[in-house]
Amino acid sequence: MPSKARILDGNSESEIDECVEMLRAGSVIGIPTETVYGLAAIATNSSAINLVFTIKERPTSHPLILHIADVSMLDDWATNISSEARALCKKFWPGPLTLILHKSDKVLTEVTGGRDTVAIRCPNHSVTTKLLKKLNDAVVAPSANKFGKVSPTTAKHVVNDLGSDISIVLDGGDCSIGLESTIIDCTTTPPQLLRTGAITAEQILRECNITVVSASGESRAPGMLEKHYAPVCRVVLVSSSQEGLIEAQRYVADGFKVRLLDLTEDLDMFARLLYSSLRTADKDGINVAIVVRAPMKGIGFAINERLEKAANSFLK
């Protein structure tokens, strides 16, 4: 189906105003954040939220993340907020950190998958901050792609994926981080790390003196599934370029079109380019993308988590 989506200029006040009116009218649009592009709907409209699930082909039991303009809006959407959660907000918002909190009565059941908790973050992107302040409301904004597939990091990616389903994508340039936010469950003692991101458990301990432990219990947040972030091509993980070349020769001998990806010299660049590199591999007809794992430090934890889930998507 041909695309109907228009890309609007995030630097234009009139085009941001158009997006605000679309959201208030119950439409779903693409928006930029520092992590990935989101598929946004106003958080107070059940029909709009259900449309997000339909467009993404996402299970309605899978919770959505609320995005707010600044920390002053937090108490509208959450209750019984712990001192640890407030400390994390003070230190890392706006930024790539999502907190799981006890929901307020204002939060719609559709947002939480029927749970009594809600995921909230304050994005660090000037275009979306301006949008949210003009909207004077929260939005839900899961990644603007089909469920389980590679997340978008440019407005064009959103058009390519969902252009026949939405009419507007607000362009804020390439995402500066390129991987989804860290998710911390602050309703548990101690808090649990549900998804790795640019903000690490070590950083939280160092800067806030808060110990965050590994996740336990059911899948209750975006990105906790074993298989996710999958391109069309098969993803094979290796520990070094030398090992990658050996693997590549084996796949080429079997008739596959192969690409080796090694961005380990610059982890921030690796994160920014990971999803676009996998998308380019699909566009180029690559059958097997052989990717060198990141060193296990900083954002490398998040890179490897995404890669493991992408690779798992091809395991039977």
pTM of the model: 0.95
| Residue 222: band (very low, low, confident or very high) from pLDDT cuts 50, 70, 90 | low
Q: What is the mean pLDDT of residues 183-205?
A: 97
Query: Amino acid identity of 75?
Result: D
User: What is the average pLDDT score of the chain?
Assistant: 95
Structure tokens given for 170: 């607000």
Structure tokens given for 28: 């779903």
Q: Please report, rounded to a whole number, the percentage of residues in the chain having pLDDT higher than 90.
A: 92
Task: Report the relative pairing of strands 97-103 and 117-121 from DSSP bridges.
Answer: antiparallel
The answer for residues whose C-beta is within 8 angstroms of residue 186's C-beta and 6 or more apart is 81, 82, 84, 85, 88, 99, 100, 101
Q: What is the mean pLDDT of residues 298-313?
A: 95
Closest CA to 94 of 118, 117, 120, 64: 120
Q: 């548990």: which residue's tokens?
A: 188
Q: What is the pLDDT of residues 108-161, one digit of tens each?
A: 999 999 999 999 999 999 999 999 999 999 999 999 999 999 999 999 999 999
In angstroms, the Cα distances linking 175 to 13, 149, 157, 272 are 20, 17, 11, 7
DSSP string of 69-138, one letter each residue? SSGGGHHHHEES--HHHHHHHHHH-SSSEEEEEEEPTTS-HHHHTT-SEEEEE----HHHHHHHHHHTS-
pLDDT > 60? residue 272:
yes
The answer for residues whose C-beta is within 8 angstroms of residue 41's C-beta and 6 or more apart is 23, 26, 27, 28, 48, 49, 51, 52, 139, 140, 141
**pLDDT of amino acid 316:** 46
Q: What is the mean pLDDT of residues 271-299?
A: 97
What CA–CA distance (Å, rounded) separates 86 from 67? 16
In angstroms, the Cα distances linking 142 to 2, 210, 222 are 23, 27, 8
